[in-house]
Amino acid sequence: MARFITGRLVAGSIVVVLALTAVFFMVRLSGDPVLLFAPMDTSTKDMDEIRERMGFNDPLVTQYGRFMGNAVRGDFGESTRQQRPALAVVLERLPATLQLGAAALVLALLIGVPLGIIAATRHGSGWDKLASLLAVIAQAIPGFWLGLLLILLFSVFLGWLPTSGRGGIEHLILPTITLSALSIARYARLTRSTMLDVLHEDYIRTAYAKGLSARLVVLRHALTNASISLITLTGLEIGSLIGGAVVVEQVFGWPGMGRETIQALLNRDFPVVMAAAVLFAVMYTVANLLTDLAYGWVNPRVRLQ
Partner 1 sequence: MFTETKHVSRRQVLGGVAAGAMAASVAGLPSARRAGAQDGERLPLITVGLGADPLSMLPNSIVDWTTDIQLAHMYDRLMNRDPALDYEIGPWLGDVANIDDLTWEFTLASPDIAFHNGNPLTAEAIKAAFDYAKDPANESHYLERWAPITGIEVIDDLTVRLTTEAPYPEIRLRLNEVYPIDPAYLEEVGLDGYRENPVGTGPFTFVEWERGQHLILDRNPDYWRQDVMVDRVEFRFVPEFSSRLAALLADEINIVKDVPVDSLQVVNDSGVARIEGIPSSRINYVALVNNREDSIFTDPLLRQAVNYGVDVDGIIAGVFQGNATRMSGALSGLNPEVNSEVQPYAYDPERARALIEEAGYQPGEINVVMDAPQGRYPMDSDAAQAIAASLSEVGINVQVQYNEWGTHLDKIVNRQTGDMFYLGWGPALDALGTLAFLFVGDSTYSSYTNPEVEAMIAEASSTLDDAARQEIWNQVQQVVSDEAAWLFLWQQHDLYGVSNQVAWTPRPDEFMWMGDATPSP
Partner 2 sequence: MSAGALVLERAVPAPRWRLVRALGRDRWAAVAILFLLVVGLVALTATLYVPADVNAPDFAARLVPPLSEGHPLGTDQLGRDVFHRLLLGARISLLVGFTTVILAALIGIPIGMLAGTFGGWLDVVLMRLVDVQLSFPFILLALTVNAILGLGLRNIIITLVIVGWVEYARIARGETLVMREREFVEAARLIGCSGPRILLRHLFPNIVTPLLVVGTLQVARFIIGEATISFLGFGVQPPTPAWGSMVSEGLDYIFSAWWLITFPGLALALVALAVNTTGDWLRDTLDPRLKR
Residues that bind partner 1 (CB under 8 A): 30-32, 35-46, 49-50, 53-54, 78, 81-84, 92-93, 96, 144, 148, 151-152, 155-156, 159, 162-167, 170, 250-256, 259-260, 262-263, 266-268
Q: What is the CB-side half-sphere exposure of residue 212 using CA atoms within 13 A?
A: 14
Residue 69 touches which of partner 1, partner 2, none (Cβ within 5-8 Å per kind):
none
Dihedral pair phi/psi, residue 102, rounded to 5° = -65, -45
Q: Toward partner 1, which CB reaches closer, 262 or 286?
A: 262
Give the nearest distance from C-beta 163 to partner 1 in angstroms.
Answer: 4
Q: Distance (Å, rounded) from C-alpha 4 to C-alpha 112?
A: 32
Give the nearest distance from C-beta 273 to partner 2 in angstroms.
Answer: 8
The answer for residues whose C-beta is within 8 angstroms of residue 96's C-beta and 6 or more apart is 166, 249, 254, 255, 256, 257
- Residue 191 in contact with partner 2, rule: CB under 8 A: no
Binds partner 2 (CB under 8 A): choice among 67, 154, 252, 284: 284
Q: Toward partner 2, which CB reaches closer, 207 or 245?
A: 245
Give the nearest distance from C-beta 168 to partner 2 in angstroms.
Answer: 27
Q: Distance (Å, rounded) from C-alpha 174 to C-alpha 150?
A: 7
Interface with partner 2 in residues 137-156 (CB under 8 A): 137, 139-145, 148, 152
**Of the ranges 13-21, 46-54, 164-172, 210-218, which one interacts with partner 2 (CB under 8 A)?**
13-21
Residue 184 touches which of partner 1, partner 2, none (Cβ within 5-8 Å per kind):
none
3-state class (DSSP) for residue 112: helix
Q: Is the dihedral of CA 301, 224, 100, 185 positive or negative?
A: positive
Q: Distance (Å, rounded) from C-alpha 278 to C-alpha 60?
A: 20
Give the nearest distance from C-beta 269 to partner 1 in angstroms.
Answer: 10
The answer to whether the CB of 165 falls within 8 A of the CB of 171 is yes
Q: How far is CA 89 from CA 188, 270, 292, in A?
A: 37, 12, 31
Residue 230 touches which of partner 1, partner 2, none (Cβ within 5-8 Å per kind):
none
